[in-house]
A and B are shown apart, each in its own frame.
Chain A
Amino acid sequence: MTTPALARRDFLKASVAVGGGLLIGFRWLTSDAAAGIDAGVGAPAVAGGAAGAAGLAGAAAGAAAAKHAAQFMPNAFVRVGTDGRVTVIINKAEMGQGVTTSLAMLLAEELDADWSRVGFELAPSTPEYGDPIYGMQMTGGSTSIAHMFEPLRHAGATARALLVAAAAQSWGCAAGECSTEPGVVVHAASGRRASYGDLATAAAALPVPTDVPLKDPASFRIIGKAMPRLDTPAKVAGTAIFALDVTRPGMLVAVVAHPPVFGGKVRSVNSEKTLAVPGVKQVVTIGNGVAVVATGFWAAKRGRDVLQVEWDPASDASLSSAALHESYRALSRTPGLVARKEGDAAAALAAAARTIEADYELPYLAHAPMEPLSCVVELRPDGCDIWAGSQFQTVDQGAAAAVIGCKPEQVAVHTTFLGGGFGRRANPVSDYIVEGVQVAAAVGAPVKLIWSREDDLRGGYYRPLWHNRLRAGFDTRGALSAWTHTVVGQSIVAGTVFEAFMVKDGIDDTSVEGAADIPYAIPALQVELHTTQPDVPTLWWRSVGHSHTAFAVESFMDEVAHALGEDPLALRRRLLAGKPRWLGVLDLAAKHAGWGTPLPHDRARGIAVHHSFNSWVAHVAEVSMQDGKPRVHKVVSAVDCGRVVNPDTVVAQVQGAVGFGLTTALYSAITLQDGRVEQSNFHDYRMLRMHEMPEVEVHIVPSEEPATGIGEPGVPPVAPAVCNALFALTGRRIRKLPIRPEDLAGEGSAR
């Protein structure tokens, strides 16, 4: 939902604040507390990762900050050093999706920078780094490129204009007579040249222009080219700093004992044995549990192991996934709130010559980022500093401020690299951040809060458990005449500050996205929603509502194709006539997968297509059964995400999405029994491993349309493509995820 006009307007508004932004930027960079870590984050990438693990020395950071002061920083997003080095300030969280490179590319393109001299820094939590559309600093919804495309180009173009003006002034010629080559201003008539570094000081003294023209995309030399990631060297060397790697002087480490049942409260604590563990300093009760604070993680964990906490019975200690599935199934047979209505689907179903129906069930899912949740909190007399791999800095500032009683702007969030995010680090209630602040406030020392893997899997904030009931009707001529889809599950934003503007007329759009906007030409269509309220914390999870609706819609469309005896690709193409971007990805994936060509008898293909985050993705999966288990050999993908900034990143995101989606389809389920989460670590919440990763072939639809999302759109069509292939192979229809091998055993039947 990017409107270039809006992005442009907001950028100009940001430009007005450029003077302030400049000052704020420098103040932050010279602050010991902030500069120490953030210079450590950005510098290794620039320097090629040569720095050692102890590269957080305050002295080095101080020197870097002093050097910055002599540099040219025309706006909040770029700094040009007198050595010609260009540093792009990245206001989006780097969680693997490549923003530290792709956002830098946007700015470098218009600056006409020498790419070999471009580096990045992660932005502080000040207002100029807010998202231009959302109005707060955050990373999510696969929007980073779309939202920052114009603002960063303007930032680069403005900086370039100033460098050109500085050159023209020194040469006594008109700026219009000058041009640029990468990192150099050129005056062709006289043959004079000046590097950006040599011009930086003079440029810094000039007034910032407000309306600088942008390049014609036809002349792009960086945008659209596969650029190597700027963060790779540091990540390979082990010098990239994640929240878990941050250390502060005098820092203690805390782990928290959480209630075994969501909503449980501490009744009493016996910390005698805990306090006897060497290294344990304190045991403090905080809002959501009991924190054990120690000199290191091991002592804190050992202390927690022997901590005795009596918990008040929670609101629902009888909650079970099985019971939820059962009650949701019953609800799906009753009328819900109408999210989409075309024609009279009830009448069309009643009049149908034939109907089919199916229920699709999906479990709660944990994000399980590789880096367990962590933050470092250090209180100041007038606020606090937080180091975290946050996707939600502005929200975290407010939440932390509420705990310690300061203003949000007195909370500085120093964003580190994220060891995976997938939505987990964008929490409307800032759960683990608040815990860290509570503990730091209680003990009066800098604290690193660490969640163990068990804490992560059992600590809530899951993709909701979903039920989807679908029915289709065929008229007397055999044509698809009716489609109804009832969705049952929790609203992610219910009870949060986001509810007011994300829930309309009782419908949380994220619950039905991908279902209510089904693209197929069906004369009568109705999509309904039941929003449930079990006491289980839920959250957006990579691809959000699409993660369940795509499975339901694309599996059921496959069922419709088989009911009609029509090829699944041919049916989709027929019902998507006149929708070129849908057909574009379908046809591209089908062509490269060899759709319709013979396969060995023990293999089969399945196809699925989905639109999410303004992008289109089609997957063709090729599967077999090996030792009674599904095996995915190859996935051929086609993606249309508008204009591509870094094609290698697009390929990487789709490769990764295939693996992420396959983990989900094959293994992932968080299940509840007696209110307790049954899984605890990677042995029972399995991840795909090397030997299970299929070959992935990614094809990009060339496009000059506005750039759209790529972090999430590859995920939704994975599960239906795989399950449709398994149906083609075995005749068994998977209607419940994750896939259970027993559901594929025995004689095939379409049920």
Chain B
Amino acid sequence: MSVKLQVNGASAAVDADPAMPLLWVLREHLGLTGTKFGCGAAQCGACTVHLDGRAVRSCVLPLSAAEGHEVTTIEGLNGKVRDALVAAWVAEDVPQCGYCQTGQIMSAAVLLSARPAPDDADVDQGMAGNICRCATYVRIRSAIHRAAAALKGGAR
């Protein structure tokens, strides 16, 4: 059965089980493999995407629940916050294996949009849902603060 989706600003009709988690629609039907499968249980955050600007775990979100909402993946993330985060992630050389990092950035983007100048407690809270097995947490934290500082500077 066909479900209409808005993904990264474009509409797509997807012929898939409405119960199928959005993750697999993105990866297998739309070829958007930047969103990762880590646990299938909303435990690790590797599959984080935005649904109307909120961070959601696409591995447990049924396709039917995404219908009528704007889905944004790492491939479609854009704007000042995205650019600041990517620049900060590169400057801090955050990734090791890199598998979780797109999910980390998607969560960080929502965090910075809600709290442009997050303190460490905000980072703890905003990033609590994203696991990094390589434990790049020290650098993720630094990168978020760096991106926030850059955004603040850029606004002057």
In the assembled complex, the Cα of A715 lies from the Cα of B10 at a distance in Å of 46
- Asked if B89 and A232 make an inter-chain contact with CB atoms under 8 angstroms apart, the answer reads yes
- Asked if B99 and A420 make an inter-chain contact with CB atoms under 8 angstroms apart, the answer reads yes
- Asked if B123 and A690 make an inter-chain contact with CB atoms under 8 angstroms apart, the answer reads yes
Query: Does B5 lie at the interface of the complex (its beta carbon under 8 Å from any beta carbon of A)?
Result: no
Residues on B lying within 8 angstroms of A by beta carbon are 17, 20-21, 24, 27-29, 31-41, 43-44, 46, 73-75, 86, 89-90, 93-102, 105, 123-125, 127-128, 130-141
In the assembled complex, the Cα of A422 lies from the Cα of B133 at a distance in Å of 10
- Asked if B38 and A96 make an inter-chain contact with CB atoms under 8 angstroms apart, the answer reads no
- The residue from A297, A371, A419 contacting B24, defined by CB atoms under 8 A apart: A297
- Asked if A417 and B138 make an inter-chain contact with CB atoms under 8 angstroms apart, the answer reads no
In the assembled complex, the Cα of A234 lies from the Cα of B95 at a distance in Å of 10
Known A-B contacts A420-B97, A420-B99; the reply to A693 vs B138 at CB < 8 A is yes
A124 nearest CB across to chain B (Å): 21
- Asked if B86 and A242 make an inter-chain contact with CB atoms under 8 angstroms apart, the answer reads no
List of 8 A-B pairs having minimum Cβ-Cβ separation, nearest first: A659-B135, A238-B34, A235-B98, A96-B96, A419-B99, A96-B97, A691-B124, A693-B137
- Asked if B21 and A298 make an inter-chain contact with CB atoms under 8 angstroms apart, the answer reads yes
- Asked if B97 and A690 make an inter-chain contact with CB atoms under 8 angstroms apart, the answer reads no
In the assembled complex, the Cα of A750 lies from the Cα of B46 at a distance in Å of 43
Query: Does A229 lie at the interface of the complex (its beta carbon under 8 Å from any beta carbon of B)?
Result: yes
Query: Does A220 lie at the interface of the complex (its beta carbon under 8 Å from any beta carbon of B)?
Result: no
CB pairs A–B below 8 angstroms (21 shown) = A53-B33, A96-B95, A96-B97, A232-B90, A236-B89, A236-B102, A236-B105, A237-B74, A239-B34, A245-B33, A296-B28, A370-B38, A370-B97, A370-B134, A371-B38, A371-B99, A656-B135, A658-B135, A659-B136, A681-B41, A683-B43
- Asked if B138 and A696 make an inter-chain contact with CB atoms under 8 angstroms apart, the answer reads yes
B98 nearest CB across to chain A (Å): 3
- Asked if A418 and B75 make an inter-chain contact with CB atoms under 8 angstroms apart, the answer reads no
Query: Does A452 lie at the interface of the complex (its beta carbon under 8 Å from any beta carbon of B)?
Result: yes
Known A-B contacts A231-B95, A687-B133; the reply to A682 vs B44 at CB < 8 A is yes
In the assembled complex, which residues on chain A have CB atoms less than 8 Å from the CB atom of B100? Answer: 370
- Asked if B97 and A95 make an inter-chain contact with CB atoms under 8 angstroms apart, the answer reads yes
In the assembled complex, the Cα of A234 lies from the Cα of B33 at a distance in Å of 12
- Asked if B33 and A452 make an inter-chain contact with CB atoms under 8 angstroms apart, the answer reads no
A424 nearest CB across to chain B (Å): 11
A311 nearest CB across to chain B (Å): 23
Most buried by B among A233, A278, A657, A693: A693
- Asked if B24 and A96 make an inter-chain contact with CB atoms under 8 angstroms apart, the answer reads no
In the assembled complex, the Cα of A299 lies from the Cα of B29 at a distance in Å of 13
Residue of A nearest to B99 (CB): A419
- Asked if A656 and B33 make an inter-chain contact with CB atoms under 8 angstroms apart, the answer reads no
What mask results when residues 210 to 249 of chain A are scored 1 for a CB within 8 Å of chain B, else 0? 0000000000000000001101111111111110110100
- The residue from B20, B75, B124 contacting A53, defined by CB atoms under 8 A apart: B75
- Asked if B97 and A418 make an inter-chain contact with CB atoms under 8 angstroms apart, the answer reads yes
Query: Does A477 lie at the interface of the complex (its beta carbon under 8 Å from any beta carbon of B)?
Result: no
In the assembled complex, which residues on chain A have CB atoms less than 8 Å from the CB atom of B131? Answer: 370, 682, 687, 689
Residue of B nearest to A648 (CB): B93
What mask results when residues 519 to 554 of chain A are scored 1 for a CB within 8 Å of chain B, else 0? 000000000000000000000000000000000000
Known A-B contacts A236-B90, A656-B96, A690-B128; the reply to A682 vs B102 at CB < 8 A is no
What mask results when residues 97 to 113 of chain A are scored 1 for a CB within 8 Å of chain B, else 0? 11000000000000000
- Asked if A298 and B17 make an inter-chain contact with CB atoms under 8 angstroms apart, the answer reads yes
Known A-B contacts A52-B75, A237-B86; the reply to A370 vs B132 at CB < 8 A is yes
- Asked if B36 and A278 make an inter-chain contact with CB atoms under 8 angstroms apart, the answer reads no
In the assembled complex, the Cα of A228 lies from the Cα of B138 at a distance in Å of 17
- Asked if A453 and B41 make an inter-chain contact with CB atoms under 8 angstroms apart, the answer reads yes
- The residue from B24, B33, B94, B123 contacting A232, defined by CB atoms under 8 A apart: B94
In the assembled complex, which residues on chain B have CB atoms less than 8 Å from the CB atom of A659? Answer: 132, 134-138
In the assembled complex, the Cα of A642 lies from the Cα of B38 at a distance in Å of 36
In the assembled complex, which residues on chain B have CB atoms less than 8 Å from the CB atom of A696? Answer: 138
In the assembled complex, the Cα of A240 lies from the Cα of B99 at a distance in Å of 9
In the assembled complex, the Cα of A235 lies from the Cα of B31 at a distance in Å of 17
Known: A54-B31, A236-B102. 5 other contacts (CB 8 A): A53-B32, A231-B98, A232-B94, A238-B75, A450-B37
- Asked if A681 and B43 make an inter-chain contact with CB atoms under 8 angstroms apart, the answer reads yes
- The residue from A232, A235, A372 contacting B38, defined by CB atoms under 8 A apart: A372
In the assembled complex, the Cα of A247 lies from the Cα of B32 at a distance in Å of 12
Residue of B nearest to A239 (CB): B34
A384 nearest CB across to chain B (Å): 22
Most buried by A among B41, B75, B95, B100: B95
Query: Does A368 lie at the interface of the complex (its beta carbon under 8 Å from any beta carbon of B)?
Result: yes
In the assembled complex, which residues on chain B have CB atoms less than 8 Å from the CB atom of A452? Answer: 40
In the assembled complex, which residues on chain A have CB atoms less than 8 Å from the CB atom of B102? Answer: 235-236, 238
Which chain A residues numbered 641 to 656 have a C-beta less than 8 Å away from chain B?
648, 652-653, 655-656
